[in-house]
Amino acid sequence: MKILISADIEGVAGVFHPEQTRAGNGEYERARAWMTAEANAAAQGAFAGGASAVIVNDSHGGFRNLLPDQLDPRVQLVLGKPRYLGMMAGVEQDCDGVFMIGYHGRAQSRGVLAHTINSGAFARVWLNGLELGEAGIYAALAGEFDVPVLMASGDDVFIAETRPLMPWVRYVETKQAGGQGSGTTLSPAGARQAIAEAAEAATRLAFTRPEARCFELTGPIKVRLQTMTPAHADLFCQWPALERVEGDLLAFEADAVQSAVRMLNSLSAMSFMLK
């Protein structure tokens, strides 16, 4: 069994402030070490549960946050960008299940550091009428490869919005949100222990009782995107495939989730023109 671990940082225990997610300061260096340790705990749990191979995908920001020399020597890493499959790169390598580590709530929720893909440009994202955050979007992308999400970790808001989409997933609550920048957290050591135990149990369960299902969306994928400002919609609608619905609302259609993800990530990259 091969497991893909997609590791983000905002849902990691102890992370509450944007400074902890941005390179160039001591707070980030400490947070990226916690992120690496949680991803490593998930990998070691997967191996303990019987996985034969683990791929770890660095899924935050520039996709260059994890500390490779702090990871179990048995893992392989997916680092850097651009990449077509974004936070789910590696799922195409004959994976059997996905772990989402350090994930967060969708934009406009009260979760810790909640956002969807680009906190400065995207306010809300709908695929086929479902408002989704990164977990839902990328779970649907994994579903196109017939790969289910088996476990996930993050704050209570992330879990509450994701559980209805994927009730079979084994969840680890690393912290409880008091708001976008506050809350109550497990210690890093406590989070690592809980993640390792959940990862091992999820992997064993996949061997003995494969009850997990894929979260799937049927194409064509109709995407609606509410931007942070009308200026972002002005910019994005330079792309002829996009339709301006309202001042800050646009729409487009894609043949599959993979195509929708590639378009959203391209729009995210375009948004830096407005900075």
DSSP 261: H
Q: Rg of the chain's alpha carbons, rounded to an integer?
A: 18
Vertex 69 angle, CA 64 and 70, to 5°: 95
Token digits for 50?
């019987």
Find out whether 134 is annotated in a ligand binding site.
Answer: yes
Residue ranges of the alpha helices (H) in 116-210? 134-144, 156-162, 188-208
Tell me the C-alpha distance between 218 and 130, whole Å: 12
For 254, the 3-state DSSP assignment is: strand
Residues with a catalytic annotation lie at: 115
Give Cα 274 distance to the centre of its chain: 25
In the numeric block, the tokens 């680092």 are attached to 79
Find out whether 72 is annotated in a ligand binding site.
Answer: no
Say what the alpha-carbon torsion angle 91, 83, 172, 9 is, to the nearest 10 degrees.
160
Vertex 88 angle, CA 220 and 23, to 5°: 125
How do beta strands 149-155 and 170-179 pair?
A: parallel
DSSP 70: G
In the numeric block, the tokens 């997967």 are attached to 46
Tell me the C-alpha distance between 197 and 272, whole Å: 40
Find out whether 92 is annotated in a ligand binding site.
Answer: no
Binding positions are 8, 10, 60, 104, 134
Binding positions for Zn(2+) are 8, 10, 60, 104, 134
